[in-house]
Amino acid sequence: GEAVVPVANCDLREYNSNPKEQLLLREFLEYWREYIGNGHRSPRGCLYLKDWHLSRAFPEQEFYTTPVYFSSDWLNEYWDAVGGDDFRFVYMGPKGSWTPFHADVFRSYSWSANICGRKKWLLYPAGQEEFLKDRHGNLPFDVTAPDLRDERIYPRFSQSQPPLEIIQEAGEIVFIPSGWHHQVHNLEDTISINHNWINGCNVAFMWCFLQDELAAIQREIRQWQDPGEDWNLQCQLIMKSCTGIDYKEFYNFLKVIAENRISILEKGLDEESSSRNNSKAAISTLGMLHAVFDLKRTAKVLSSLSANEDFRKLDLTSLSPSPEALLHHMESAIDTAML
C-alpha cells in the first residue's frame, strides 16, 4: 500500500496524453472504491493507474512469468543488463478509464494480458495513421471524436479504413504488431499486465524508427540555426530526450543482445542459469537455432548502423568493442554454430 504509483487523469488532456500525478497505492485503491460506490463518478475525475513498473519496484517478487510466445524480449533483456529502466507495466483502471491514440515506444511490439475486466481496443494497421493526421500533420488525441469527420481539419480521414475493434475479456492476451496505432477503453474495472518488447523479428522497425526520428529533428532545427561543429551531437541529444535512446546507445543495445547470444553459442548454458526466470534462460528455452537467428538479425541491423552517415560522424572511440570487431565476432560465432 505504501508503493508510489503513477496515476493519469483521463478527463484531462496535456499535449497528447493525460496528465499524471504520483499517489500511494492505498490512496488510489481508496479512490477506486469510492468511484465504484458513487456510480463510477468522482469530483477528482476518472483516474487510471498506468505504466507502473511493478517488477522493477519489487525485484525480489515473481508476480508472474512471461508467456513463452513473448519471451524473446530484447528491450527488457537490455535494460535489465544496464539498469535504470524496464518496459514491464501494470495497469489498473476503473470503468471508463482509457488510453489515448498512440503507437508504442520505439515501434516495439506489445502484449497486454487482462487479469480481470474488459477492454475495447481500436487498432489501425501501420500506415493507416497517415490518413488520420490533421492539416498540420498531427495525430488525433481521440479517434472517436466527431472532429475527425471535419475535412477542414482532417482532410484525409475519409480515405482511412475503419479500425479493427477487439473486445478483450479477462484471461485473454492481445498482441499489438509494430507500428500499429491504437486506443484502449476499459469497459469494466480492469487490471492488466503490459509489456513492450523487441526481438529479431522487428528490430529493423526500431532502426527505421530511429532514422526517421533523427531526420525529423534535423529538418526541424535546420530552420533555426546553421549546422555547426556540434550539429550531429546536438541532434543526438534531442533524439535521446524525445525517444529515450540515441545511436550510440542503440549500438550498445545491439552489443548486449549479440554478446549474450555469442556466449551461449560458444559456452552453452549452465544448469543454474537455465532454472532462472531471466533472459539467458529464455534464450535457452527457445533453443540454439533461435540464438543463431537472433545473431543474424542483429548483424544485419548492425551492418546498416555501421554504414550510416550520421553514426559515422559521431565520436565512436568510446565504443568497445568497435562495431567492426563486434560484427566480425558475431559472424564467426554464427559460422561455428552452423558447422
What is the residue-wise DSSP string for 121-144? EEEE-TTGGGGG--TTSPPPS-TT
Instruction: Give the DSSP H/E element, type plus range, for residue 283.
Output: helix 279-286
Q: Class for domain 4-197, per CATH?
A: mainly beta
DSSP-derived 3-state class of residue 24: strand
Instruction: Using alpha carbons, select from 154, 190, 149 the residue that is nearest to residue 172.
Output: 190
The domain ranges of the chain are: 4-197, 202-338
| Burial classification of residue 124, based on how many CB atoms lie within 10 Å of its CB (0-12 exposed, 13-18 middle, 19 or more buried) | buried
State residue 269's pLDDT score.
Answer: 63
d(CA 163, CA 122): 6
Coil, strand or helix at 6? strand
Q: Which residues is 168 bridged to in the sheet?
A: 119
As a whole number of angstroms, the distance between CA 103 and CA 132 comes to 13
Angle between helices 279-286 and 247-267 (to 10 degrees): 60
280-296 pLDDT, tens digit per residue, is 667 767 788 999 999 99
Half-sphere exposure of 140 (CA within 13 A, CB side): 23
Give the Cα separation of 23 and 168 in Å (integer): 28
Distance CA 151, CA 145 (A): 13
Per the prediction, the chain carries an average pLDDT of 93
Cis amide leading into 321 (omega within 30): yes
Find, among 114, 139, 252, 128, the residue nearest to 189 by Cα: 114
Q: Which of 240, 200, 211 is nearest to 77 (CA)?
A: 200
* Exposure of 249 in the CB half-sphere (CA atoms within 13 A): 15
Which residues of the chain have a pLDDT value below 70? Answer: 225-227, 269-281, 284
Q: Which three cell numbers stand for residue 83?
A: 539498469
CA-nearest of 302, 304, 297, 294 to 260 is: 294
Coil/strand/helix, residue 89: strand
The sheet with strand 181-186 has its strands ordered as: 98-102, 181-186, 119-124, 164-168
pTM exceeds 0.85:
yes
Residue 250: the pLDDT is 98
Model pLDDT, residue 223: 76
Element (H, E) at 302: helix 288-307
pLDDT for res 275: 52
